[in-house]
Amino acid sequence: MTTNVKVRAVGYFLLGIKLIFKSGIRQFVWIPIAINTLLFSLASWLLWEHMAAVLNNMLPTWLEWLSWFLIPIFSLIILVIVYFCFTLFANIIAAPFYNYLARRVESDFLGDDYSTEKDESLMVESLAIMGSEIRKVLYYLLRAVPLLMLSIIPGLNIITLPLWFIFSAWFLAFEYTGYYFENHQILFQQQKHLLKEDKLNIILFGSLCLLFTSIPILNLFIPAIAVAGATRMQLDN
């Protein structure tokens, strides 16, 4: 049972990579990538300027003898956190385009002809879509910020950071499946209920998204890959 769940999570992520380069779908990817390029360039500059100071503050003096082991781990954690935060902001701006992408992936799966009428209906819904994204981000921040604040405390961060990772992985999957759900008027509370029925698979899918978000250049494509893969996952379910 567990093996099957893992294969599904990885399989849909890899399928997302294939889908975003497919003819008829790839034209919906370029604007979100341009938005990501701008914001992630800013994130990279901030990391370059401040990472060393942050690492020094995270490592307690009584653990300095383990610095050779902990500094690489904390460096990865900082990369994940910073790029993840910028991903949340980028997703709010690019939300209408990801809804187009989810609609196009669904049309491709069902064999429907994609018409401009669908684009027009989505344009009308764009403000509502962005409002939904803001609500999701607030939902996330109210839970994740306390975990991150506790992670500032040396020693305690060994416990709180893994909890933050698990919750953030679940949230990313919740975020990327949401575009498909919103196209079918399945709202916030209903989305959470549906995803809880497949929680382990959702967390594994989100973990892949979260880890690859920390890799420069590749992270420009991850949101589009995740939207495409998550949409197909829900269609198959």
213 vs 73, more confident = 213
What is the reported pLDDT for 230? 96
Burial of 166 (0-12, 13-18, 19+ CB in 10 A): middle
44 vs 104, more confident = 104
Q: What is the mean pLDDT of residues 106-121?
A: 68
Give tens-digit pLDDT for 162-192: 888 899 999 999 999 999 998 888 888 888 8
Q: What is the mean pLDDT of residues 115-128?
A: 57
Task: Tell me the backbone φ, ψ of residue 105, rounded to 5 degrees.
Answer: -60, -40
185 vs 228, more confident = 228
Does residue 95 register a pLDDT over 90? no
Task: Tell me the backbone φ, ψ of residue 112, rounded to 5 degrees.
Answer: -80, 155
Alpha-carbon gap, residue 153 to 57, rounded angstroms: 9
What is the reported pLDDT for 135? 83
205 vs 188, more confident = 205
Number of domain units in the chain: 1
Does residue 161 register a pLDDT over 50? yes
Does residue 1 register a pLDDT over 50? no
Does residue 59 register a pLDDT over 60? yes
Does residue 2 register a pLDDT over 60? no
Please list, in sequence order, all residues whose beta carbon lies within 8 angstroms of the beta carbon of residue 122, skipping any fewer than 6 positions away: 96, 99, 100, 103, 129, 183
The structure's pTM equals 0.81
Range of the domain at 71: 2-236
